[in-house]
Amino acid sequence: MTAFDIDRILAETFVRQVEYRPETKSTNDLAIELASHGANDFPALTITDRQTGGRGRGANQWWAAEGALTFSLTIDSKVLGLETRDWPKMSLTMGLSVCEVLERLVPDRRVHLKWPNDVFLEGRKVCGVLVETIAQRPGLIVIGIGINVNNSFADAPPELRSIATSLVDVALRSFGVADVLVLQLQQIEARIGTVIAGSEDLAEAWRARCMLEGRTLSIELGTRRLTGVCHGIDDEGALIIQTEGGIERCFAGVISQIL
Ligand code: BTN
């Protein structure tokens, strides 16, 4: 039986529609499929107990064993009043909202935001965010979030164990995934509110958690590669890199190396 209580989600969060599947390939794919077939009640949540083919940025996959929390939230930017110019801030802001929930759940542990869409706990990746739009439904935004909650990496292959972690591995106790989900949805709502309001604390909040600040790194921008020292994240959500040729602001890209 699933841990998720749909009535509770509807009562305690801003979600208006829930689509639960015991198993699905990708909650983002499911969200896109439902929206493409005319779903109209947003925010809509797609959630599963077992995601079998989760997608990450680019060609990346998202591995989620039993005990992980994987869901997607589809929002209608027009109804919420979210301007198109603010869409590029969404990945980072959603990562920030996960940081804020983890800081409550494991208050004594190090939580960082790795621009543009990862959350790290005690130096290892604990969450990934995949924000997508839907060609047939302009204005809708799908926010896919995977958080390693009770899925321990203790028995994972060593190459994975050294780069990924979960809440249970760090806290040495399990968490109620349904509780984590409700907290997370509430924090997402609060943070979307700060984007819409143009709150000044937003940029401060993501800067304070930036894992890359002060580090020398390489970033791939399509066919172009930049190397330099990271000077944090600016008010628009761009990563600032001091290269030999000057300051560069990066709005998208893949961090390929951290020295
Ligand atoms: C990344 O690390 O590049 C992003 C990973 C995003 C994974 C989540 S899990 C829920 C949602 N469904 C997917 O297929 N992907 C996202």
Please give the chain's pLDDT, 259 residues, in tens.
788 999 999 999 999 999 999 999 999 999 999 999 999 999 999 999 999 999 999 888 998 889 999 999 999 999 999 999 999 999 999 999 999 999 999 999 999 999 999 999 999 999 999 999 999 999 999 999 999 999 999 988 788 888 999 999 999 999 999 999 999 999 999 999 999 999 889 999 999 999 999 999 999 998 999 999 999 999 999 999 999 999 999 998 999 888 8
Q: Which atom of ligand 1 is found nearest the CA of 55?
A: 14
Assess whether the C-beta atom of 95 lies below 6 angstroms from ligand 1: no
Assess whether the C-beta atom of 151 lies below 6 angstroms from ligand 1: no
Mutate to test the pocket of ligand 1, among 62, 94, 185, 256 (most ligand atoms within 8 A of CB): 62
User: Token pair for residue 14?
Assistant: 């801003």
> Does domain 212-258 sit in CATH 2.30.30.100?
yes
Concatenated DSSP letters of 6-54: HHHHHHHSS--EEEEEEEES-HHHHHHHHHHTT---SSEEEEEEEESSE
Q: Within its chain, how far is the Cα of 169 from the centroid?
A: 20
Q: Which atom of ligand 1 is found nearest the CA of 71?
A: 10
Closest CA to 194 of 43, 71, 72, 90: 90
Assess whether the C-beta atom of 72 lies below 6 angstroms from ligand 1: yes
Asked if 127 contacts 95 with a C-beta cutoff of 8 angstroms, the reply is yes
Report domain extents, the chain.
6-208, 212-258
Q: What is the pLDDT of residue 240?
A: 96
Q: What is the pLDDT of residue 159?
A: 83
Residue 43: is the preceding peptide bond cis (ω within 30°)? yes
Closest CA to 236 of 211, 208, 193, 207: 207
Residue identifier of the C-alpha nearest atom 11 of ligand 1: 144
Tokens 């951290």 identify what position? 258
Q: What is the pLDDT of residue 65?
A: 87
Structurally, what CATH architecture does the domain formed by 6-208 represent?
Answer: 2-Layer Sandwich (3.30)
Residue identifier of the C-alpha nearest atom 9 of ligand 1: 146
DSSP helix/strand/coil, 72? strand
Mutate to test the pocket of ligand 1, among 145, 148, 151, 181 (most ligand atoms within 8 A of CB): 145
Residues 6+ apart with CB under 8 A from 89: 195, 202, 236, 237
Q: Which atom of ligand 1 is found nearest the CA of 26?
A: 14
User: Token pair for residue 228?
Assistant: 């330099």
Q: Which atom of ligand 1 is found nearest the CA of 53?
A: 14
Asked if 34 contacts 46 with a C-beta cutoff of 8 angstroms, the reply is yes
Assess whether the C-beta atom of 55 lies below 6 angstroms from ligand 1: yes
Asked if 187 contacts 194 with a C-beta cutoff of 8 angstroms, the reply is no
Looking at residue 152, its amino acid is S
- Centre of ligand 1 to C-alpha 216, Å, is 27
Q: What is the pLDDT of residue 245?
A: 93
Q: How far apart are CA 50 and CA 14, in angstroms?
A: 24
Backbone φ and ψ for 28, nearest 5 degrees, come out as -65, -45
Which contiguous run of DSSP H or E holds residue 183? helix 177-197
Looking at residue 172, its amino acid is L
User: Token pair for residue 184?
Assistant: 């997370």
Residue identifier of the C-alpha nearest atom 1 of ligand 1: 56
Asked if 34 contacts 42 with a C-beta cutoff of 8 angstroms, the reply is no
